[in-house]
């Protein structure tokens, strides 16, 4: 990609907005779960969670993404009441104690509604508005920013990774349009690692620029995922941060705007280099 993406103002809940494209945006992962694949059980108390979020903010995170249910393959499903009990005290504390944008990682409309009421600005839906029929209305009614993620779980998948992105995400965007979601509220996520093997994940990174055909800003989340372990031989998830930073740079050079990561500092430095390269290209081509 020879230039930075066009600058976009991402509209969020509570009258907030976030400028995308000019500089990489880091979203820090805060899982308040006992069983997430990388950090399960580390931040189950509110104090632990806020301390971790503060450290991520200090390291350069603009957004903290709070999750109350693990999305790893085979993870135990939690009931909505338990998910709400896990995330809402953390969202409220983040609102009160840190000047940071808050994202709620959920596919449940009830949890999303409670989180936005508690102070969250963004709904990060790993089911792309397609699991809970009420989710799109919650996004529209609250004015929340929304990350619509592609997934291959629980459905037939097309052979070509980009064709499958269009199959799934176009349906999600139709749902969003019918609900009246403002286009300026939408960011898309290709869902790397979600029902995708090594070849599919590498193909998505290699062909990332083709995702700009949708016309929306793009978020990428490769952090510590299994395919990086397959490449590097690192079997322990939190030893895959260098590999994660490498994929973040690749995605940035292909036009990604937001990076959902565990290790904010490592990705910050890597993305500062990518941003400098992109700005140098832009100045040369001006």
* Phi-psi map region of 148: left, alpha, beta (phi>0 left; psi -120 to 50 alpha): beta
63 touches 55 (CB < 8 A): no
- Three-class secondary structure assignment of the chain: CCCCCCCEEEECHHHCEEEECCCCEEEEEEECCCCCCCCCCCCCCHHHHHHHHHHHHHHCCCEEEEECCCCCCCCCCCCHHHHHHHHHHHHHHHHHHCCCEEEEECCCHHHHHHHHHHCCCEEEECCCCCCCCCHHHHHHHHCCEEEEECCCCCCCCCCCHHHHHHHHHHHHHHHHHHHCCCHHHEEEECCCCCCCCHHHHHHHHHCHHHHHHHCCCEEECCCCCHHHHHHHCCCCHHHCHHHHHHHHHHHHHCCCCEEEECCHHHHHHHHHHHHHHHHHHHHHHC
Structure tokens at 143: 């004015």
Please confirm, yes or no, whether 207 is among the known catalytic residues: no
Question: What's the CA gap between 147 and 88, in Å, rounded?
Answer: 19
What is the C-alpha separation between 1 and 218, in angstroms, rounded?
Answer: 14
* Residue 94 near residue 100 (C-beta atoms within 8 A): yes
Catalytic-labelled residue, pool 11, 86, 225, 240: 225
Catalytic residue flag (residue 58)? no
Catalytic residue (one of 86, 240, 252, 260): 260
Active-site positions read 225, 260
């Amino acid at each position: 990609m020879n230039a930075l993406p066009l600058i976009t103002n991402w509209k969020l809940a509570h009258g907030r907005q976030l400028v995308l494209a000019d500089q990489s945006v880091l979203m820090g992962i805060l899982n308040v779960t006992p069983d997430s694949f990388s950090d399960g059980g580390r931040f189950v108390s509110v104090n632990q969670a806020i301390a971790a979020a503060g450290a991520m903010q200090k390291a350069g995170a603009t957004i903290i993404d709070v999750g109350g249910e693990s999305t790893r393959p085979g993870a135990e499903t939690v009931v909505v009441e338990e998910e709400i009990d896990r995330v809402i005290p953390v969202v409220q504390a983040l609102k009160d104690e840190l000047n940071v944008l808050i994202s709620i990682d959920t596919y449940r409309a009830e949890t999303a509604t409670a989180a936005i009421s508690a102070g969250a600005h963004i709904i990060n839906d790993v089911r792309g508005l397609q699991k809970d029929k009420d989710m799109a209305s919650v996004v529209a009614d609250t004015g929340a920013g929304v990350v619509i993620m592609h997934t291959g779980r629980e459905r037939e998948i097309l052979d070509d990774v980009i064709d499958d992105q269009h199959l799934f995400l176009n349906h999600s965007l139709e749902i969003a349009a019918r609900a009246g979601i403002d286009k300026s509220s939408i960011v898309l996520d290709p869902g790397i690692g979600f029902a995708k093997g090594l070849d599919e994940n590498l193909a998505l990174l290699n062909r990332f620029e083709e995702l700009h055909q949708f016309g929306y800003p793009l978020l990428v989340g490769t952090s510590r995922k299994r395919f990086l372990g397959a490449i590097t031989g690192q079997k322990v998830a939190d030893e895959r941060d260098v590999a994660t930073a490498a994929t973040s740079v690749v995605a940035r050079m292909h036009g990604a705007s937001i990076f959902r990561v565990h290790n904010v500092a490592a990705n910050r430095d890597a993305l500062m280099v990518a941003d400098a390269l992109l700005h140098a290209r832009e100045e040369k081509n001006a």
